[in-house]
Structure 1
Amino acid sequence: MHKLTIPFAVGLLGLPTPALAETPMDPAEIDRAVMQFTGAAIGQPGGARLAVDRRMRLNACGAPLQLEWYGSNRDSVQVRCPDAGWRIYVAVAQLPQAGEPGGGEIAISRGETVSIIVEGGGFSLSRQAVAMEEGAVGSWIKVRPTQDKKADPVRAQVVRPGQVAVRLR
């Protein structure tokens, strides 16, 4: 009579063996994705308030994570993994506005080359632009793409020094 080893016997029953069990999602990978999406580090204005809780056990995601702003004030980032069937919300540290402590200082000067981020439903584009006005974080200024001197200026919101954003939603 043959003896069956435990992993083999469990495999015959169709149950996962410990060696074959799916590894959980690395929370640091979610942190990196949120940091790249927001353009700011954890704890910085515009970035995640806190790192993703390391005690959380989410199934590994076999596809790229899907991130989008959540909430009318864009105060969270929704992170989804459709193939694993989970979604979490990461709180974002709000940017200071003019008149608040830390707000009101000029973050972008007129004539400065800035990065302009254009975001819409499921996409994000980035290119270089020239600031036509100065502005503090949270204010709206006119910028013009550097590659097209004849293009009309667009209004974009100052996100942080050197970066403005246009959100198409």
Structure 2
Amino acid sequence: MRPALLPTAIAAAAAIAVAPAAAAGFQNLTDLDVAVAAHMGAEIGEPGGARAPVDRRLKLKACPEAPAVSGPVLGAAVVRCEPVGWSIRVPLKLDAATRSSAASPASRVKEEDAVSRGQAVRLTVEGTGFAISRTMIADKNGKIGDMISVRADRMAKPILARVVDIGEVSVPGS
């Protein structure tokens, strides 16, 4: 090995050796996958289980006790670590039978408006292994399945979203 490359090789070896130690302060995401699978009674990708593994880019502070899993709530399992204060939603793969048994009574009533103009609604955007939500304001009334515009405040640019439940909207294609 050339003498000029030796410091680079030593630095790379040190970084590899330190990486597991740096990760020790973070929650093991595989443990969260296992907890969700145990709670839901289905593995990742199976009906009733998580759609995908928890996003590996997450850096959650390690929970000193086993995180609590609840749900399904609005198509996701909720994983919480009360002592530390973090909470994540893990999107579930729900088939028609699972969806109808987990659905809220409000989602069964499609004839009535699920969202009213001026109402605060939760906008959810889902991706592979994660879901993000934010409170928005509905610009008009909408039934489940309708496309309506929502905005963060009166001056903000509207976003087109689909009504999925009472007080719940999602971005199309999510």
Task: Report TM bin, short chain.
Answer: 0.3 to 0.5
TM-score (norm 2): 0.44
TM-score (norm 1): 0.45
1 or 2, which has the higher strand percentage?
1
1 or 2, which has the higher helix percentage?
2
